[in-house]
Structures are given as structure tokens and as C-alpha cells.
Amino acid sequence: MTTEPLPALSFDRPVPPAQVNRRSAREVFVTDHTRLGPDEFALAVLVPHDHPLWSDQAAGRHDPAFVIEAFRQAFVVVRHEYLGVAKGTPSAVQRLTLAVTEPDAFRAEGTEPLRGVVKVRVSRGSGTFDMDGDFLVGATRAATLSFAGVLFPTESYRELRDYQRSRRAAGGAEAPAAGPIDPALVGRRDRRNVVIAPAVAPHRYPVVVDRSHPSFFDRAYDHLPASLLIEAMRQSALRGAAEAGLPTDATALVRVDLEFGIFVETDVPATCAVSVTGRPGTVAVSVGVDQADVRVAGGTLELTASDA
């Protein structure tokens, strides 16, 4: 699947971290950007082959979930640099869909980084900010992604978070000190990137929160970031897929459909619950994140056997 040529974009160096709401330059993947039309934009992105999180996968393949982070950074650049949204404006994603349309585009070759272009279209409403588009590797459409976001007035955000924190504090205690499961069980090599603990009940995995993690908590959050929740749901889905017969070390993520409700607190236990359906070679895993007896996020992840 191909698409029309885009203007030349540079992959030489990342933009300043503040442009994508990051502190560390290592966590910045946008290297260049341009406006294609009133509501259409293109952004060059690059992830190093040795990035401690996004390259911590089985050899021979880049992580397609990186595309979600690439779109998040594109969301920040576009709204601030082109559409006049004030920096520091609180935001949240409410729904996202990722579809890997060309898995071979994510094959890794030695020490080469993954270079691609995020091409997006933006639709704005009263307090909403929706974006959809393609992730292109060369002329190949490697993935599509869309998400619906919301922008908050600063004072409204503070009031909302104060209310939600009071509700969650009343419904839960301090998170238990549960350690992560074996990295090999969730397709990771580095134990630090494992964000679920052993099951506390059939198909239910506690979320492990390490606030010193250099990628998930590259900046200060008053809640669990969506990137950590997505990874917890993926790792839980991998456990479900393994029980359905897919080998963890050769299972590829091909589709994500998720919704996010209220913010997830950092100091109240959260768990991922999974159920699996599918056919030989492919499974669909329904995943939900629960906190204080409330479903706070969830959806479906589709995984398939990979030859990588």
C-alpha cells in the first residue's frame, strides 16, 4: 500500500523536548514537521534501534506500539505550533484505534533506527481535538491511527482531578508492593519495562507502577499516563494470547481499539482483566483496567502469530 510523495523532512535531530512535553531529548521522536493544508500536517519521527523501551522487543522487529507515542507527540506539536493552543493546556485521550497495515515495514535491520512520517488530519470542536492519519515508512503505509482527545481549561482540570482523587482515595488503599512478572512472558527483555505482576485471580493482573521509569514518567504526572496503561493492557493481552496458544516471542500486535474514562490514580491499586476469543493464529483480547471497583479504561487488542 503506497501513498503520494510528501515534502522533504529532516531526520537529523529531535525537536526541543518542550515541544512534545518531554524533559529528556532521548524521549523525543519528532525531528521535523510541516503544514500540508489548513487541517493537515506531516511530521518526521525517528526511534533509535537501542531505545530502552521502544526497542525492547524480540530481535528483528521494531515495536508498532511506538506509533501511538509518535501520534501523541504529533498531537502536541500540531496543537501548539500551528493551531494556537496555549502550551501547558491540560489534555487527555478518550479513544484511540491503531491498525498495523503492513507488518513488514516494522522489520529491523541491524542497528538502523525506524524512520517514518506521521501524516495527520485534525478536527477541532468545543474543547475537543480529534486526529487521524497514517504512519508512513518510505512510500509504504505501515499503520493507521486515530484518536479523540479533549482539552481542559486549567481551572476545570484542577477541579476535576481534585474530585476524582477524593473518590478514588475513598475507594482504595496504597498500592501493594507487587513485583513484575518474568519479562519473557510479555515479550520484553528488560525487567524494568514489565508493568504487570503475576495474576491475583484467573486472567487478572495487577498494574506495576514505577514512577522512576525514564519513558513512562519522563515528566511529572498526577495520574498514570496513557502510555503505561496501554502497555499494561498489551502485556495482559499477551498473557491471554499465550494461554490461547500463541507463542509470546513470536506474537505481533496488529490492532488496538481502546477507550479511556476517568484518570487513573498512581497510588490506588489497578488491575487488568482479560478475556480471549479468536481463531488459530489470531486472537482478539478484551482488556479492561479496573481501579477501586470502577472500569477506567479498556477495549480490544488483536494479536497474530509472527514469523519474526
The ranges assigned to domains in the chain are 17-152, 173-305
SS3 201: strand
Query: Which cell numbers hold the place of 43?
Result: 511530521
* CATH fold for the domain made of 173-305: Thiol Ester Dehydrase; Chain A (3.10.129)
Q: Which CATH number fits domain 17-152: 3.10.129.10, 3.10.20.30, 3.20.20.70, 3.40.190.10?
A: 3.10.129.10
Q: Does 246 score more than 90 pLDDT?
A: no
Is the confidence at residue 58, as pLDDT, over 70?
no
Ranked by mean pLDDT, the top range of 16-30, 107-121, 273-287 is 16-30
Average pLDDT of the segment spanning 234-259: 90
Whether residue 159 contacts residue 211, with contact meaning beta carbons closer than 8 Å, is answered with no
> What is the mean pLDDT of the segment spanning 186-197?
94
Which pLDDT score, from 0 to 100, does residue 211 have? Answer: 93
pLDDT-based confidence at 59, cuts 50/70/90?
Answer: low
Q: What's the pTM?
A: 0.92
pLDDT at 247: 84
What's the gap between Cα 202 and its chain centre?
A: 25
| Cβ proximity of 75 and 226 under 8 Å | no
Q: Is the dihedral of CA 208, 256, 49, 34 positive or negative?
A: negative
CB-based burial label for 280 (10 Å; 0-12, 13-18, 19+): exposed
What is the phi-psi region of residue 45: left when phi exceeds 0, alpha when psi lies from -120 to 50, beta otherwise? beta
Q: Which of 104-108, 146-150, 166-170, 186-190 has the lowest mean pLDDT?
A: 166-170
**Three-state DSSP state, 22:** coil
pLDDT at 2 over 50: no
Quote helix, strand, coil % in the chain, to nearest 5: 25, 35, 40
Asked whether the domain spanning 173-305 has the same topology as the one spanning 17-152, the reply is: yes
Is the confidence at residue 72, as pLDDT, over 80?
A: yes
Taking all residues of the chain, what is their mean pLDDT, rounded to a whole number?
A: 90
Q: What single letter denotes the amino acid at residue 17?
A: P
- What's residue 99's pLDDT? 98
**46: alpha, beta or left? (left if phi > 0; alpha if psi -120 to 50):** beta
Is the pLDDT reported for residue 270 higher than 50? yes
Segment 274-278 shows an average pLDDT of 89
- How far is Cα 86 from Cα 79, in angstroms, rounded to an integer? 8
pLDDT at site 1: 35
Q: Report CA dihedral (146, 86, 221, 28) to the nearest 10 degrees.
A: 60
